[in-house]
Amino acid sequence: MPGDGIGPEVIAEGIRVLDAVSEVMNFELNWVKYPFGADHYLATGELLPESALQEMGKHKAIFMGAVGDPRCPEGVLEKGILLALRFYFDEYINLRPVQLLEGVATPLKDKTAKDIDFLVVRENTEDMYIGIGGRVKKGKSRQNLELLRTLYKIKFGLDIDSDHEEIAYQLMVISKGGAERAIRYAFQLAYDTGRKKVTSVDKANVLTYTYGFWREIFNKIKQDFPDVQTEFNYVDAVTMWFVKNPEWFKVVVTPNMFGDIITDLGAMIQGGLGVAAGANLNPEGTSMFEPIHGSAPKYKGLDKANPVATIMAGSLLLDTIGEKKAATLVEKAVREVLKQRKVLTPDLGGTSTTSQLGQAISKKTTEIGASF
Ligand code: NAD
Ligand code: IPM
Ligand code: MN
């Protein structure tokens, strides 16, 4: 599903590389293309029909570019397509590796590839993303108004009618099951990958109900993993530590909202949004793979966007569908091309185009694949 903006350009390169690896490794990939995104929405009014969701559920994985377009109101495509997919398939893990690859520059002084190598597990279905909220205007929505009037009176002694003519509110929810499955996944990942430290990132010092609950669950689950070291960081402090001491982190687990924010920072320390990949996982169901960046409208159609994030998401896709060797091969090809620093897009300091970099990685895949 290419989507909007630079989505189609980067997905084309992702598909090019996955096709190359399937050929050299002797397995078949069948693609089904879905048109959903801004153009389709503007032409038909349709976002993502239930029938398409049902059909997608029969596939092994979804490979997705990005959605979001300045011609559409904020959030319509993001909620109606991207979040709809994550929720429909209950992709409760958003796995976002933060890995500095050799040949890519980090803005962090004196840090190298061995210092920037950790995995962020972002809870992907709840927290502030549940979409429950509203706007209350004087004289409208009596039911909501009554509730809020009572809450405001108790909490602040304020009378909504006179002090707050209009308010907006959005709820955040952490459920026991939702937090447990994300935190347990992070511990298991730490255990399985030998990265035996898990850092919980939250704001339990202020949002005590929700994130206090998250910590309680973290403390309970850690008892099942006695060899894994643990640590708590508040989200404000973690933005400092990601910059100052990224080498401290092995596996980070965090609720949805902070996970969104800190993984763009994570992307920057590994060389930018152009190289940062992500996987929306339902380990028991349909998963979706995408770069963590968006549709970058300013680069649309310019053949300038970096396809590496999408190609690395393709490697995560292969790993998840059981083509482990192919996944490793793609990663190896990306690493080699970047290390040579000959074919690079402008964000990495080069002058090559999206397709030139995609082609170089695809060629490298075929080359090293022959003796892999
Ligand atoms: P963005 O990630 O699209 O782009 C921010 C900036 O990062 C770009 O202007 C560019 O300088 C750089 N960048 C991003 N991808 C790059 C690439 N592949 N190569 C080189 N540079 C790259 O974020 P934004 O500008 O905040 O959002 C644009 C639109 O995308 C919005 O509509 C937003 O809602 C949407 N969005 C979608 C997704 C998604 O579909 N997964 C994710 C994030 C944002
Ligand atoms: C991301 C994006 C999405 C999110 C938006 C576009 C809904 O920022 O994948 O990080 O907030 O999760
Ligand atoms: Mn984001």
Q: Which tops the pLDDT comparison, 231 or 144?
A: 231
Q: Which ligand is nearest to the CA of 295?
A: 1
- 260 Cα: distance to centroid of ligand 2 (angstroms): 6
- pLDDT for residue 160 is more than 80: no
Task: Give me the percent of the chain exceeding a pLDDT of 90.
Answer: 89
Instruction: For residue 8, name the pLDDT band (cuts at 50, 70, 90).
Output: very high
Mark out the alpha helices in the chain (DSSP H runs). 7-24, 38-44, 50-56, 76-77, 84-88, 142-156, 160-163, 176-193, 210-221, 235-244, 256-269, 308-320, 324-340, 354-369
Instruction: For residue 161, name the pLDDT band (cuts at 50, 70, 90).
Output: low
pLDDT in tens, 336-363: 999 999 999 999 999 999 999 999 999 9
Average of pLDDT values for 201-210? Answer: 97
Average of pLDDT values for 278-287? Answer: 97
Q: What is the pLDDT of residue 109?
A: 95
Ligand 2 in contact with 336 (CB < 6 A)?
no
Q: What is the DSSP letter of 83?
A: I
**Count of CB atoms within 10 A of residue 106's CB?**
19
The reply to whether 203 belongs to the active site is: yes
Residues 118 and 246: their CA atoms lie apart, in Å, by 8
Phi, psi of 79 (to 5 degrees): -80, -40
Q: Is 159 exposed, middle or buried (0-12, 13-18, 19+ CB in 10 A)?
A: exposed
Closest C-alpha residue for ligand 2 atom 8: 260
Residues 331 and 141: their CA atoms lie apart, in Å, by 53
Q: What is the pLDDT of residue 143?
A: 62
Q: Which ligand is nearest to the CA of 9?
A: 1
- pLDDT for residue 18 is more than 60: yes
Closest C-alpha residue for ligand 1 atom 26: 294
Q: Which ligand is nearest to the CA of 3?
A: 1
Ligand 1 in contact with 348 (CB < 6 A)?
no
Closest C-alpha residue for ligand 2 atom 11: 260
Task: Point out the ligand 1 atom lying closest to the alpha carbon of residue 3.
Answer: 40
Q: What is the pLDDT of residue 133?
A: 85
pLDDT in tens, 285-308: 999 999 999 999 999 999 999 999
Residues 6+ apart with CB under 8 A from 127: 172, 173, 174, 210, 255, 256, 257
Residues 196 and 266: their CA atoms lie apart, in Å, by 20
Instruction: For residue 123, name the pLDDT band (cuts at 50, 70, 90).
Output: very high
Phi-psi region of 312 (alpha: psi -120 to 50; beta: other; left: phi over 0): alpha
- Apex 126 CA angle, 123 and 129, nearest 5: 110
Q: Which of 83, 85, 96, 310 to mutate to test the pocket of ligand 2 (most atoms within 8 A of CB)?
A: 83
> What's the farthest any 2 CA atoms get from each other in the chain?
75
Residues 62 and 219: their CA atoms lie apart, in Å, by 34
Given 4, 203, 211, 364, the catalytic residue: 203
Q: What is the pLDDT of residue 76?
A: 98
Q: What is the pLDDT of residue 169?
A: 81
- pLDDT for residue 203 is more than 90: yes
- pLDDT for residue 89 is more than 80: yes
pLDDT in tens, 213-263: 999 999 999 999 999 999 999 999 999 999 999 999 999 999 999 999 999
Closest C-alpha residue for ligand 2 atom 5: 78
Q: In angstroms, how far is CA 156 from the centroid of its own chain?
A: 38
Q: What is the DSSP letter of 194?
A: T
Ligand 1 in contact with 82 (CB < 6 A)?
yes
Ligand 2 in contact with 67 (CB < 6 A)?
no
Average of pLDDT values for 36-43? Answer: 98
Residues 320 and 296: their CA atoms lie apart, in Å, by 27
R_g (Cα) of the chain, nearest Å: 22
- 372 Cα: distance to centroid of ligand 3 (angstroms): 35
Phi-psi region of 212 (alpha: psi -120 to 50; beta: other; left: phi over 0): alpha
Given 159, 161, 224, 236, the catalytic residue: 236
Ligand 2 in contact with 78 (CB < 6 A)?
yes
Q: Shortest CA distance to 81 belongs to which of 35, 126, 125? A: 35
Ligand 2 in contact with 292 (CB < 6 A)?
yes
Given 115, 220, 264, 325, the catalytic residue: 264
Ligand 1 in contact with 7 (CB < 6 A)?
no
Type of residue numbered 12:
A
The reply to whether 260 belongs to the active site is: yes
- pLDDT for residue 25 is more than 90: yes
What predicted TM-score, i.e. pTM, was given to this entire model? 0.95
The reply to whether 264 belongs to the active site is: yes
Type of residue numbered 19:
D
Q: Positive or negative, the Cα torsion across 69, 71, 75, 78?
A: negative
Instruction: For residue 156, name the pLDDT band (cuts at 50, 70, 90).
Output: confident
- pLDDT for residue 141 is more than 60: no
- pLDDT for residue 147 is more than 90: no
Residues 72 and 66: their CA atoms lie apart, in Å, by 14
- 232 Cα: distance to centroid of ligand 3 (angstroms): 22
pLDDT in tens, 47-84: 999 999 999 999 999 999 999 999 999 999 999 999 99
Q: Which ligand is nearest to the CA of 299?
A: 1
Q: Shortest CA distance to 193 belongs to which of 100, 102, 97, 277? A: 97
Q: What is the pLDDT of residue 154?
A: 82
Rounded to a whole number of angstroms, the distance between the first and last alpha carbons of the chain is 30
Q: How does the average pLDDT of the chain come out, rounded?
A: 95
